[in-house]
Structure 1
Amino acid sequence: MRQFNILSVLLLALVMGCNEPKKKTVEEETEARLPAGAFPEYSGDLMIVPGKSIDKVFLGQDMSEVFKILGNPSDGDAAMGKSWGIWYLRDSTDTKKGELSVYSSYKNNSMSTKDVKQIVVSATNYRTDKGLRIGVSLDEIKAVFPDVKKAAVYLNTAKKDSLVVYDAENEGIAFDVRNKGDHFFTTAITVHPKNVSVNSTYLTIHPGWDKIQ
């Protein structure tokens, strides 16, 4: 009887050991398949790396991998083989906290797959290693990137408001800046390839705004 009990315990341990990897695989697959617009909930600061990445999305990344991480986009636009995917960022109470947008186009002439060309974020829990994030002033941007230059100006006639894009082209980062009471503050940050203008996209990511410069 004692030998039988020992054998039973060993068999049970073996079965549980075999089932554990399978359980882990199912959990990983479930995490990778997020429903439309259900951006993963994160806590803490998420990194913006000029010329490289925003959190887990990086320049040159295959869009199939982006969809595994973010799920299907909440909104977007597409034309001529180029597209914007827009994900709404929400907190634990399902309150919208900003957007993460990814600009993509075909990798090569085979026109079979697309990769990431630009990434834009407008949520306060994303920052660079120098602390630049949404809401910082134009002076703070210039202190970190003294060579930043005005790249575009947009006008919203209905709101009687203007938006200026400042680009540190050599570093691969740009900032959407608006004016409120003589205070210029950042509303979005774009990561793009170094030494390539932020204006190199075919589609604009500023719906409701008319480019005047």
Structure 2
Amino acid sequence: MLLILRRLSFSLYIFLVLFLVSCDSESGKNQNKTPHKTQNSAEKPIAIKWSSAKMIIPGKSIGLTHLYESADSVFLLLGKPDSSDAAMGKMMASWYKNNHETHIFFGRKMGSEDETSRVKQIRITSSYFVTEKGVSVGSAIHQIQMEFPELKIAGSYISPQTHLQTTIYDDLQKGIAFETDAKNGCVGITVHKPNQQSYEIYNALYKVKME
């Protein structure tokens, strides 16, 4: 009887040892899995949602100003322009603040039922405004081309500030143009109607040599 009890005790001892080893091994596997999951989650890009007041949307808007919006509506939003020039149903309005410029080119269909003056092109020089992927004034041309690979040189002008050539790159289909200085940094962004060149706003501002 004593021999049987000893054998049972030994068997129970072996069982407990195997059980503890198994639990320790499983715990080690779980610990190894945890950092792996953390690493994968860290690799996922963080989505940035810009405020609508900051967004540049090609072919549509810059900030809260939209293409086809009436001039009256724009003036309510931005206030009276610091300068304006109108002729033959077209108007260029300009705002200057903190060394930054906002230029809006308006047009209206004279003789039509709706002769409302509406936004045709919008140009800004402030880095406050950004595209979906973060491109803004100050971005390098290679960064811009990553988001807009279809950009092509549309023209150039001599900057009245630096007296150096500024190059205009335009993505005609999307409706957005970028101006770059001699160091290939962006100094201005224009949003225009898709498949319509942005030369009107530039010709109103500078003597532009179009490609």
TM-score by length of structure 2 reads 0.68
Work out whether 1:82 is the aligned partner of 2:90.
yes
Match of 1:161 among 154, 161, 164: 164
Return the match for 1:65 from 62, 67, 73.
Answer: 73
Q: Deviations over 1:103-143 (max 9, x none)?
A: 00114533732000000111111111110100001111111
Structure 2 counterpart of 1:123, which letter?
A: S
Instruction: Report how many residues are paired.
Output: 159
Identity %: 32
Return closer, same or farther for 1:197/1:203 CA change in 2, 3 Å cut-off. Answer: closer
What residue number does 2:39 align with? none
Higher gyration radius (CA)? 2
The Cα RMSD (Å) is: 2.4
Pick aligned residue for 2:59 from 42, 51, 54 = 51
Match of 2:101, as an amino acid?
E
Going from structure 1 to structure 2, the CA distance change for 1:132 and 1:158 (only over 3 Å counts) comes to: closer
Instruction: Please show how residues 8-157 of structure 1 align to structure 2 within 5 Å.
Output: 46-89=54-97, 96-107=98-109, 109-110=111-112, 112-156=115-159
Contact map agreement 1:174 1:190 (CA 8 A) in 2: yes
The gaps in structure 1 that reach 5 residues or longer are 1-42, 90-95
Contact persistence 1:107–1:115 (CA under 8 A): no
Question: Greater strand share, 1 or 2?
Answer: 1
Residue 208 of structure 2 corresponds to 211
* Secondary structure in structure 2 of the residue aligned to 1:69: helix
Q: Which stretches in structure 2 are left out of the alignment for 5+ residues? A: 1-50
Q: How has the CA–CA distance of structure 1 residues 78 and 56 changed in structure 2, closer, same or farther, with 3 Å as cutoff? A: same
Task: Name the amino acid aligned to 2:205.
Answer: H
Higher helix share: 2
- Match of 1:46, SS? coil
Which range moved further: 140-149 or 79-88? 79-88
> Which residue is 1:171 aligned to?
174
Q: 1 CA distance for matches of 2:132 and 2:79?
A: 27
